[in-house]
Amino acid sequence: MQKYSKIGKDYQSLGLLGLSFFPMLFFPSVTFGLLPGTEVAPYAILFSIPYLKKIDYLLFIFLAYLAISSIVSSIYNFETRGILYESVRSLAAFVNPVIAFFVLFSFCRNSLEKMWRISLYIFIFIFFLGLLQSFNFLGFAESFFKFLVPKSSSVDLGIRGVTLLDIEPARAGVSFLFIYILIRGVYLKDKYFFISDLIIGLYILLIIESAMAFALYVAFFFIFHIKKTPYIILIALLLFPLLSGIESRTIMLIGEFYKRPIDEFIMLFINASGHRIFSIYASTFYGLLHPFGGGVGNWHASSQHAAILTGFDLTQLSYYKLLEHGVFASFRGSGYMMNMLIEGGATGFGLLLLTIFNKIYKIYKMNAQAKQVILIFLVKIFFIGSVGNPVAWICTALLLLYIYYNYEI
């Protein structure tokens, strides 16, 4: 095992096979219907295996912790139906994005340049794919899209927007934003950042139409344009009345902000998020009270326990309106780290943060752009998205490596 205190050495080449497989990392929902019940294919693990010649010692400890937690969870809850399957699936979901994130740091610059170029082509492809779906030009290909991603659609879903090559607009929007952040950092000149970011915001608002993706975009915009905050607020106030007549779930939700008292809007926002916002609170509460979590794979029981521990009146939440006789619905936390708190507890949470920062701290100190990239990445993995999706992790690693190679003194 090697400690990567310096980003890495003994760099390896991507190779023709790796180069051919690399694009699949951006489309983890393309399962071809071969994995029933699975929404994220383990492409990142498959891609990483040939390049695991050396491994960061902290990463090894973190992965060992997850594996032990999975084994203990299976043994302790052996009477629970399907626990072995859930333990293996949860373990794979936690490993999938993390392993790819670290493997990318082992590639030589020549290989990284090829990956940056492929990422640009992928961004252009999904940008125009979203436009075609939004204008319903691809209705004839509905069966093909269903073959690639069983839960996707080739056309606009009304006020819910488009799915690109993903299972839902929310996940598509988050992945799209991070691919854009990568392309923005690698290929755009600074003078085009502001106008380009506004265009992408409108794309997410009007084409993808996901409230969750737009909330992440707002966080991105403020992080990357903090000095322009007054202008941002002014643009938003002027722009919203012009958009308020458009049938978009996100715009409708924003409109409610102006109509309702703040306490009513907060409750509306919580319910509009499904279980997501509540899961953040419940996961944090549970993870702090249970330092080792409920065990990898035991999320069904652990999330129910977490919901009860909050003491919240669950009948107020739309996600729990089907409560019957004290039987509570399980939930997956919103964000990788929230799920880690549920299944791996504060111990797994802390180990992962230590592992990540040990790898990227040198880049973090380089310039403001690196700090911005890392901050939006943390917002994403803490609060937004599913566990196994590797797109944000891959884009972040590739952009940090670009910063490293172009700003190192």
In the predicted model, is pLDDT for residue 394 greater than 70?
A: yes
In the predicted model, is pLDDT for residue 193 greater than 80?
A: yes
Contact 91, 38 (CB under 8 A): no
Nearby residues of 264 by Cβ (< 8 Å), 6 or more positions away: none
User: DSSP string spanning 352-375?
Assistant: HHHHHHHHHHHHHTT-HHHHHHHH
Per-residue pLDDT of 337-379, as tens digits, reads 999 999 999 999 999 999 999 999 999 999 999 999 999 999 9
User: DSSP string spanning 257-305?
Assistant: HHHS-HHHHHHHHHHHTTTHHHHHHHHHHHHHH-TT-S-TT-HHHHHHH
Q: Reduce the DSSP state of residue 324 to 3 states and report it.
A: strand
> DSSP class of residue 32?
T
For residue 409, the model assigns a pLDDT of 45
Q: Other C-beta atoms within 10 Å of 232: how many?
A: 18
Q: Reduce the DSSP state of residue 12 to 3 states and report it.
A: strand
Per-residue pLDDT of 311-336, as tens digits, reads 877 777 776 665 544 456 788 888 99
Contact 259, 317 (CB under 8 A): no
For residue 317, the model assigns a pLDDT of 76
How far apart are the C-alpha atoms of 177 and 195, rounded to whole Å? 15
What mean pLDDT comes out for the span 113-137?
97
What mean pLDDT comes out for the span 110-117?
96
Per-residue pLDDT of 153-188, as tens digits, reads 999 887 678 999 999 999 999 999 999 999 999 999
- Domains in the chain: boundaries: 15-279+330-407
Per-residue pLDDT of 220-272, as tens digits, reads 999 999 887 777 777 665 565 555 555 565 666 666 555 666 655 556 666 66
- What is the residue-averaged pLDDT of the chain? 86
In the predicted model, is pLDDT for residue 145 greater than 90?
A: yes
Residue 78 or residue 384, greater confidence: 384
Give the H/E segment covering residue 156. none
How far apart are the C-alpha atoms of 104 and 69, rounded to whole Å? 26
For residue 4, the model assigns a pLDDT of 38
Residue 297 or residue 331, greater confidence: 297
Is the C-alpha dihedral spanning 296, 298, 300, 301 positive or negative? negative
Cα angle for residues 55, 338, 149 (degrees, 5° grid) = 80
Q: Reduce the DSSP state of residue 188 to 3 states and report it.
A: coil
For residue 51, the model assigns a pLDDT of 92
What mean pLDDT comes out for the span 145-151?
93
Residue 40 or residue 246, greater confidence: 40
For residue 81, the model assigns a pLDDT of 83
